[in-house]
Each structure stands twice: as structure tokens, then as C-alpha cells.
A and B are shown apart, each in its own frame.
Chain A
Amino acid sequence: MRVYNRRNLTRPPGCQRIGGSSGREVPNYRAASSLYMVHSNHHLKRDASVLRKPLQKLQSHPFRPIIPLVARISDQNASGAPSMTLREKTRLEKFRQLLSCPNTDLDELRKCSWPGIPRDVRPITWRLLSGYLPANKDRRQMTLQRKRAEYFGFIEQYYDSRNEEHHQDTYRQIHIDIPRTNPLIPLFQQPLVQEIFERILFIWAIRHPASGYVQGINDLVTPFFVVFLTEHVEDDVENFDVSTLSPETLKNIEADSFWSMSKLLDGIQDNYTFAQPGIQKNVKALEELVGRIDGQVHSHLQKYEVEYLQFAFRWMNNLLMRELPLRCTIRLWDTYQAEPEGFSHFHLYVCAAFLIKWRKEILDEVDFQGLLMLLQNLPTIHWGNEEIGLLLAEAYRLKYMFADAPNHYRR
């Protein structure tokens, strides 16, 4: 368990130990993991007796509650949750202070954001960290107006072309994928929301012909959309009826989501161009990195002929969004936006930490099928901020130890 040995840990900026539990054993999710073999990530059967039965017997259990994926996107300070601790209040105050300065100190804002952004200030902080809004407070409103108008100018200019011959393939693919985006969250099944996603994705795709629309990019809109929506929704985002918002508000959310997503994709476009070189490169880098940090897991995978591409392709293509509940992705992105090259570089270390997180479960599997089933369906459905905090701390440690020392631990 070298990786969980936290002596000599370099602590990420502002990262606190959570409840003194950072050294605890990773809970054994193995029993629950078999569930995932049978179902896509959004289902869970809770019956304990069912849990223990082998895979084949799990098939037709009627009781299948849907675990909310978005309702708990909040930090601990959501309404309905216990009131804020003193520390959380101090943090929120610090954010408010930074954000209200005539010129927000972005370095300081990143530092504060690394361990997670309080829900109340997350939308504005994301807009700033993504580079969508300027640090100068007086210019923000003007920028918003200008960018929103610009986006709707694109819509006016290009959106009608979606039915033209040369854009048909793009539009068709987007149109197929929209109902398949978070299919179990009611919010994303509303026609108004689906239309917003279609416009955002289509405009982005035709403005970026080198990659165009690639499946998975649809997922990348959702964290932005949900976060900007929380500015207008008290609670229960996943069931919120967006038609109760004014058209103006919805338009603003749409434009802000478009621009924020564009900024994110600017940094990782080679993930989606022909032959997806960015992903190929990152999967290789992951393999190489894991070989250095945990030889046992690495050779276990090799022994059973599991290739990294078979599970990590999706980790890179969808930035772990398919492996984690949406609330966790949102928390993860707080850090990705606070970390220099978070999406394009730091993500690699998060993936390595994520893989090693399951080392016990991995080493318990002794055939190819079992390993692949596990790795393609990792049981994270109950994950929250704490697990993500630990994952990020580990990723930070790995980056610190290995990024600038390519020969470190090389055998």
C-alpha cells in the first residue's frame, strides 16, 4: 500500500485533512461493484442479500431506486444540510472578499478554490477561473453582455444551417446524443434543456471543424449548465422545471455554458481531433506512470492482458465524468480550474490516483473478464466531496513526485 502511505505528503494548497480520516482504509466496495456489472452506473439495488449473490442471480430484481446525482452537488452548506461550520463560513467570507475586490487576485482565488468552492460563489468563481470573465470587477457586466450577445449572434447566423447537407452528420449525431445525456436525470429530459444543449453543441462543433462534435463532448456541457443553473435554484436541481425561469435567465445560462465549455475545450482539443492523439498520448502516459508508482497493480493488469486503453480511453475522453456522479465531477472541476492545466495535464494524475484507489479490488480479480468488468464499472455511486478530496490530494502528491522527475522510480 505504498500509495496510501501518507508520510512525507506534500499537501496541496489549502488542502485540509478531512475529519482525520485520510489514512483510513479504502472501504471495500467489491460487493457493490458486482451491481455495476449488470447495470449502467445510475442504478443501484440495495437489498443486501442480493449484493452477496453472484452476478448471474442479480438480473431481475424489481427494487431499483435512482440515486440522485445532482441534488447533492452542493457543498456541506446546502439548504437542508447542517449549518455551516465556522471554517466554512470563514472560507465563504474569504471568497466574497476576493470576488468583490476591484481587481480579483486570480492567483489567490485559485488557491482558495483548489480544495473546493462553496456553492454560493461557485458560478461566479468558475466564470473567472475559466477565463470567461475578467479579473476587473467593473468590466465583468459589460463582458457578460457582449459575450452573451455574441453567442446569440452565432445562433442567428449559423443555427439554421444545421439541416444543410454539409452539417447534417454533425447535427444528426448531436440530436441522437442529447436524449442520451444523463438519461436518468429528469432535468436533462426537458425539451427546453435539450434544445439548449443542441444549440450549444452545434455552434461549438461548426466553429471547431478540426474536431467537430465528438460523443462525450455533450457530457462536458452538463457541469457548467448545472452550476450556472444553481444561481437560480435553491435545491433539487435534478428535478427543477426550467420553464419556470424567465427566457432571459435561460438565455444567459445557455451563453455562459457555451463560453465556459469552449474555454475548457480549447485546452484539450487534441482529444477530439482525428485519431484522438491527445487521448492516445494520455493513456500511454497513464500506463507509464502507473508502472512507476505501483508496479504490482501494473503487472497484475499485464498478467491478465488488460490494456489501459480498454478502460482509460473513456476516462480521458469524458474526463472521468462517466465514472463519477455529477456532483463529484463538479467538485473535481473546482480543482481542475484552480490548477494550472488542470483538464489537460493534472487530469492524468487524477486518473492514476483513481486507478490506484482500487488496487485492492484490482488485485482481488484474477481473470481478464473480472478485471475489465470492475474497471469499466467502478462503484463510485456513493462518492461525495470527501472521496474527491482524497483523490485530489493523492493526485497532487503524484504530480509533485513524478511530473518533474521522469526517471523517478523507473526500474
Chain B
Amino acid sequence: MAKQYDVLFRLLLIGDSGVGKTCLLCRFTDNEFHPSHISTIGVDFKMKTIDVDGIKVRIQIWDTAGQERYQTITKQYYRRAQGIFLVYDITSERSYQHIMKWASDVDEYAPDGVQKILIGNKADEEHKRQVGKHQGMKLAEEYGMDFYETSACTNYNIKESFTRLTELVLMAHRKELDGLRLASNDELNLAELEEDGRKADGTANSKSCWC
């Protein structure tokens, strides 16, 4: 049986309620868009397998509820993520301001080497724009993140941003991947490697993984 994937890892979507996290995900995994998507409760799960440089990457994507009350639950998912999308809505200044809070949560709860991308969603709603593109770029630069404006509605930059974060995670795990190319019959489960490492050295993060 042909193996289904080479590498498996976890991505996480966070950001204020209503910025379009679920819509980004549905567009990416199912190429669908519903303008009024039912609100996410707790954490939802989807997956997709994509090809990056000849490597079959299966990504598990965790879609979180944005409301503050859920954060006790959603924070539990941070530590297992290898990549995180921080999402704001370009028509909501407030959601942009809150990126600061989301970023500090990531610092606190996610593993040190986690890869991050900043997303300004709803780019199609130009007439309602409250956050300039340069503001997004500036913030991303401050945090050392890549930045994309996206639109789940018009399917703008969706595949690009998901692929980019996937690449970043792959690059961060180059060492393991080189090993993979040598023994090409094995599947590499980054999530598990990492957890094994954690168990072995007994610390919250296994830094040896990150190059």
C-alpha cells in the first residue's frame, strides 16, 4: 500500500471571534465559502494533505473559537502546534489591536520553535477596511512573521498562506526531514517526535528539534 503521507504536523488558527478563521479553513480544505458560517464552539478539526517540494505533508488544522471564555480550552492546543495562524479582520481595527494579546498567548503557551504567520482576512471588503495593508506588514515585521492579506470569500491568498506556513514548519524541521529522505519508507510524525523529545528530556520544549 502506498503510504498516504511523509510528514504529519499540526497547525492552529487563532484570532478574535468573527474574523473568519473557520471560513479560511473551509476554503482551504474544501474550497467552500459560506458567508454566515455557524460559530465554532471550543475547537474544530480538519485535515488536508498537500505536496511541498515532493514531500507529502499531512496537516491537521485546529480551528479555535475566538471568544475569550473559551480560552481555557483553546490554550490547551497551543503546546502541540508546530505552526500558528494569527488572524485579524481588515474591517475591524479592534481585531488587529488584539493580535498583540494573541501573540503574547502564543509566547506563553506554544513551544519555542513554533512558526507563525499573520493573516489579515476579508481583503475583499475594501470599502469597509479599517486596517491598512502597511499596518499589517509593520506588525508582522515587529513580530518577525510573514504576512498575508487573504479573502476566504474570493479565494485570495488562501493556498499561498497555508503553503507558506507549511514550508516554514518544514524548514524548521530540516534535520528530521533529511533523515526522512534517507529512509524514505518511514512516515515522519513531527508531533510525536516532539512529544517523545519532551518526555525524554523532561522539559516543556525539546529544543533539539529546532534548527
Contacts and interface: CB of A to CB of B under 8 A. Distances in A.
A2 B90 CA distance: 54
B30 A177 contact: no
B41 A310 contact: no
B47 interface: yes
Nearest to A169: B68
A177 B39 contact: yes
A173 B72 contact: no
Interface string B90-128: 000000000000000000000000000000000000000
Contact of A310 (B36, B39, B43, B47): B43
Contacts of B46: 37, 373
B39 A313 contact: no
Given A179-B36, A214-B69, A276-B69, A376 B44 contact: yes
- Which of A38, A60, A212 is most buried by chain B, counting CB atoms within 10 A of its CB? A38
Given A176-B17, A272-B69, A275-B72, A216 B36 contact: no
B69 A183 contact: no
Contact of B31 (A60, A272, A317): A60
A182 B65 CA distance: 17
Contacts of A314: 41-42
A292 to B, nearest CB: 25
B37 A215 contact: no
Contacts of B36: 179-180, 183
A310 B44 CA distance: 8
Contact of B70 (A41, A181, A183, A215): A215
A180 B39 contact: yes
Contacts of A272: 69
Interface string B26-43: 000011101011110111
A380 to B, nearest CB: 15
B48 to A, nearest CB: 9
B60 A369 contact: yes
Interface string B122-164: 0000000000000000000000000000000000000000000
Contacts of A313: 41-43, 73
A318 interface: yes
B17 A40 contact: no
Contact of B30 (A39, A180, A212, A368): A39
A224 to B, nearest CB: 19
A38 B30 contact: yes
A122 interface: no
B128 to A, nearest CB: 14
A49 interface: no
Interface residues of A, number: 37
Interface string B53-82: 000001010000101011011001000000
A59 interface: yes
A110 interface: no
Interface in A185-200: none
- Which of A177, A215, A318, A322 is most buried by chain B, counting CB atoms within 10 A of its CB? A215
B64 to A, nearest CB: 11
B197 interface: no
A372 interface: yes
A268 interface: no
A369 B47 contact: yes
Interface string A157-189: 000000000000000010011011111000000
Interface in A268-304: 272, 274-276
Interface string A356-395: 0000000000001100110010000000000000000000
- Which of A60, A181, A369 is most buried by chain B, counting CB atoms within 10 A of its CB? A369
Interface string B5-45: 00000000000011000000000001110101111011111
Given A276-B69, A322-B38, 15 more contacts: A40-B34, A40-B38, A59-B30, A59-B31, A180-B37, A214-B69, A215-B39, A272-B69, A309-B73, A313-B42, A314-B41, A314-B42, A369-B45, A372-B45, A376-B44
28 contacts: A38-B30, A38-B32, A40-B34, A59-B32, A60-B31, A173-B17, A176-B18, A180-B39, A214-B67, A214-B69, A215-B17, A215-B41, A215-B67, A215-B70, A216-B39, A216-B41, A218-B39, A276-B69, A276-B72, A309-B76, A310-B43, A313-B41, A313-B42, A313-B73, A314-B41, A369-B47, A373-B46, A376-B44
Interface of B: 17-18, 30-32, 34, 36-39, 41-47, 58, 60, 65, 67, 69-70, 72-73, 76
The 9 tightest CB contacts between A and B, nearest first, are: A313-B42, A183-B36, A176-B18, A275-B72, A314-B41, A372-B45, A180-B39, A214-B69, A179-B36
